[in-house]
Amino acid sequence: MTAPRILVHGGAWAIPDALVAAHREGCRRAAELALEILLDGGTAEDAVEAAVVAMEDDETFDAGRGSFLNRDGDVELDAAFMEGRDLHVGAVAAVRDIANPIRLARMVMESEHVLLVGEGATRFGLDHGMERCSPEWLIIPREVAFWRHQHDQAQAGALDALRAWRSDTVGAIAMDNHGHFAAAVSTGGRPYKLPGRVGDVPCTGAGFYVDDEVGAAVSTGDGEAIARIVMAKRAVDALAQGEAPQEVTRGVIDYLYKRVGGHAGIIVMSRDAGHKADGVGCAFNTTRMARAWNEGRRIVAAVDR
């Protein structure tokens, strides 16, 4: 038996002071829920699912209801799940009418498929007992107002600077008391994205990677840049080479910036997390990153360095 560990994040960007408490406490609540499951002997899968569902349901974050809108003013959601025993993966992309896409991603992981998109993904969920929500239910007034602002910015040719500095995606890594790992990620993607645009989140190795023999990593931030350097797999490979988690996260974020000029954050947990104080790592080259993790039975949450 190993001591269970949980590490969650709620996005890496210039989180304004007024939103700091909501981000920090949202991460803390998610981590608390997951830790309770793990301490009760629950699986890593159940723990990360509970953490991500809590953050999808929290309108603070760009996941589930309250996500950013695309250029057409619609929500399109991406999510992914991976477990580290047999390396099963499940992901969904551009889903428009599922309240908790992370649950759908888990169903895909538990099937013979790896990635389902759009209406096909929704139909798979309905066939397996999920309910369709209305696409309008996912849209909240705050995001309609933000969309209008972006639309005006786009007309004025000033959209890029705005897009670069918001990233509220959520993710979680857990190791249960059998030393088994799982990771889950969920996002509404970039604000004002092209309809059909998909970033790193549902891409194995870019947005997430998990291997019980080594550990796990989950990315957030500039999805196109993250995908180009396959950031999460790069981090897990560095762990496998014996690098410490904090060194690993710093290394991949530095590489991301040097090689493709990306802004992002990453969380990493090594297989030895249950025994060593340095079993988790987090780095970001944005101003802030919301995250929470456990130290024994205590949850610690932070947004600053």
Chain residues binding ligand ASP by CB under 6 A are 11, 62, 167-169, 187, 189-190, 199-201, 220-221, 223
The whole-angstrom separation of Cα 291 and Cα 270 is 17
**Does residue 263 contact residue 249 with C-beta atoms inside 8 Å?**
no
Q: Which is nearer to ligand ASP, 220 or 294 (CB)?
A: 220
CB of 93 to ligand ASP, least distance (A): 10
Q: Which is nearer to ligand ASP, 64 or 223 (CB)?
A: 223
Q: Which is nearer to ligand ASP, 37 or 289 (CB)?
A: 289
**Residues belonging to the active site:** 169
**Does residue 23 contact residue 291 with C-beta atoms inside 8 Å?**
no
269 strand-pairing partners? 216, 280
CB of 11 to ligand ASP, least distance (A): 5
Encoding tokens for residue 88? 């099963």
Q: Which is nearer to ligand ASP, 11 or 101 (CB)?
A: 11
Nearest to 75 by CA among 192, 223, 168: 192
Cα dihedral 24, 105, 49, 296, rounded to 10, equals: -80
Q: Which is nearer to ligand ASP, 4 or 189 (CB)?
A: 189
Largest Cα–Cα distance of the chain, in whole Å?
59
CB of 14 to ligand ASP, least distance (A): 13
CB of 91 to ligand ASP, least distance (A): 12
Nearest residue to ligand ASP, scored by beta-carbon proximity: 223
H or E segment to which residue 221 belongs: strand 215-221
Q: Which is nearer to ligand ASP, 32 or 168 (CB)?
A: 168
What 3-state DSSP class applies to 268? Answer: strand
CB atoms within 10 A of CB 256: 25
The whole-angstrom separation of Cα 68 and Cα 75 is 7
The whole-angstrom separation of Cα 251 and Cα 236 is 12
CB of 187 to ligand ASP, least distance (A): 5
Q: Write the single-letter amino acid at 196.
A: G
CB of 197 to ligand ASP, least distance (A): 8
CA distance readout (Å), 11 to 86, 168, 289: 28, 4, 6
